[in-house]
Amino acid sequence: MVSQTPTPNDGSPPPITPGGTYSIQTVTVGCKIYIRRPGPNGETEERLAEILSIRDKPNNLYAKRNKPEADAPTKLEDQREYFVHWEHFNKRLDDWVVGSRLVLSRDLEWPRPKQPVTKKATPSKKPGKAPPGKAPRTQNLLKKATTNAALATSPTPAPSTPMLVDEYLPSPSPAPSLKRKTLHLPDDEEEEEEEEEEEEDAEGEDADAEGEMDVDGEGEVETFDLSMTEPAPELPPLSSFSKEKEIEKLRTSGSMTQSISEIARVKNLNRLQIGRHEVEAWYFSPYPKEYAHLPVLYICEFCLAFFPSPLMFSRHRQRCTMLHPPGNEIYRHEDISFYEIDGKRQLTWCRNLSLLSKCFLDHKTLYYDVTPFMYYVMAKRDSAGCHIIGYFSKEKESAESYNVACILTLPQHQRHGYGKILIEFSYELSKKEGKLGSPEKPLSDLGLLGYRAYWAETIIDLLLSTPESELSIDDIAQKTSITHADVMNTCSTLQLFKHYKGQHIICLNNAVLEKHQKTMAKKRRRIHPEYLKWKPPVFTRDQLRFGF
């Protein structure tokens, strides 16, 4: 039905199987097929989607929310579920669908076959001699071994986004070590040298043939031995593992040994109940595998503990005495409060917060330690307690002068202006510190929109409030605590720079002024600095020592 000859990946059309000539058993991971989904007007539409993962329909202990009805014979196509990415749709809409929604009467698009890797012709090497500018192979292997040994004895993660799991690791993975991706990019020369070493090791074969997984192709891979509580089981031979088996295992088990670029695409949770709100998870979050694929995961909105059934959750609520985030209240105005929480003192709560936020953040990498971070949680007060709206985390000591590591407004509170309050509050803290600040990159799509709107509104408001005085880029940065780079990018995006008499000036055009007036006409909450009771924390060397 489909030609097996490799199709060159040069823009030629992928292999197609005509509709009606294949069965549902033919559909595999990587195929693109039309699937029925609800349309914008309530009608059913057929849209092209890519199959990312296939599983048998889960039979979880807590999966049935109501009393089980009489068992009905299950159709063959409904015995399996498919995780799909809708073509031209945002990634957060990826979802599991049953087989009966697949349209088998339309064409099935197969992935393009990989081209065979041809080994580059290299000049013959004399034994005992290394190419100029490169260390001998034995020295490289020794260097790798000593580096891994040093990391295993003192696993100190580089400060970055505080997304972690430590207590909730499932059963040990077949891989002897856990991998994580750091956000620090290596030098080009080191990257080229590593690629050359991998080509020599593979000898013409795929570098991932024995279960090794790429980490985005641009991050630095480090290994950590996390088997501190119990000895690791005896490992089977590496030849029994393949990349496909490892990916599929990690997709479904919730393990932390995952490749961000390949496996985080498959979300493992359906819906979350947080207080009186029930929201749908957007992305993968490494909750324990026993909690995966539940219809609803119940989360306490005060202590952030999670439970698989409403009975267990109701029993917990009767015993839970927490009514606000476990930290110091540093800001209170009207019904909004901000709490400062040290990740080293409130490990469990901050870890639960990181698990929850990972359900709605896809661009952040998971880490195992929250101690390098301070958390600033925004809550809304009422007679029942302080309900979490959103938060941002901040490194205790940031070499790159980041004032935000991770920022999130929970989905049930979005589109109410709370995101700008979080951003404005982070810059008020920077003003108190007397520093310029910028959020950690990369930003999510929603985060980038929020920051661009705040930067534009703040800079234009400052320019309008000082019409007679001349303001330079440095003056704007010092008055707003926004870094020079962010000020320059914002002004360039708004096209505020004009060339006048041999020099560049900042000029507000009519379109920018009109848009700013519409924005200011909308009533929104603002941060009032006089209600902020906070001093920048000072940490000793022992308090900045990160570890488990």
For β-strands 438-439 and 402-404, DSSP reports them as parallel
Identified catalytic residue from 301, 395, 428, 440: 440
Q: Strand, helix or coil at 163?
A: strand
Half-sphere exposure of 170 (CA within 13 A, CB side): 18
What whole-number distance in Å separates Cα of residue 201 and Cα of residue 214? 15
Is 313 in contact with 298 (CB distance < 8 Å)? Answer: yes
Q: Where are the beta strands (DSSP E) in 57-192?
A: 80-86, 95-98, 108-109, 178-182
464 phi and psi angles, rounded to 5 deg:
-75, -30
Q: Is 139 exposed, middle or buried (0-12, 13-18, 19+ CB in 10 A)?
A: exposed
Question: Given strand 271-274, what is the order of strands in its sheet?
Answer: 277-280, 271-274, 297-299, 306-307
| Single-letter amino acid, residue 32 | K
Read off the tokens for 198.
Answer: 């991998």
Would strands 80-86 and 95-98 be described as parallel, antiparallel, or unpaired? antiparallel
User: Which residues contact residue 133 at a Cβ distance below 8 angstroms, ignoring those fewer than 6 apart?
Assistant: none
Tokens describing residue 183: 């956000």
Closest listed residue to residue 353, CA positions, set 329, 318, 333, 378:
378
- C-alpha separations of 12 from 3, 111, 311, 368, 455 in Å: 14, 12, 56, 44, 44
Cα(412)–Cα(118) distance, integer angstroms = 52
Contacts of 494 (CB under 8 A, 6+ apart): 456, 460, 512
Alpha carbons 428 and 413: distance in angstroms, whole number = 22
- Going by the DSSP 8-state scheme, the letter that residue 102 receives in this structure is B
| Angle ∠(486,441,427) on CA atoms, nearest 5 | 50
- Can 190 be counted among the known catalytic residues? no
Q: How many whole angstroms separate alpha carbon 274 and alpha carbon 302?
A: 9
For residue 229, the one-letter residue type is T
Distance from CA of residue 109 to its chain's centroid? 29
* Parallel/antiparallel/unpaired status of strands 108-109 and 178-182: unpaired
Active site residues: 440
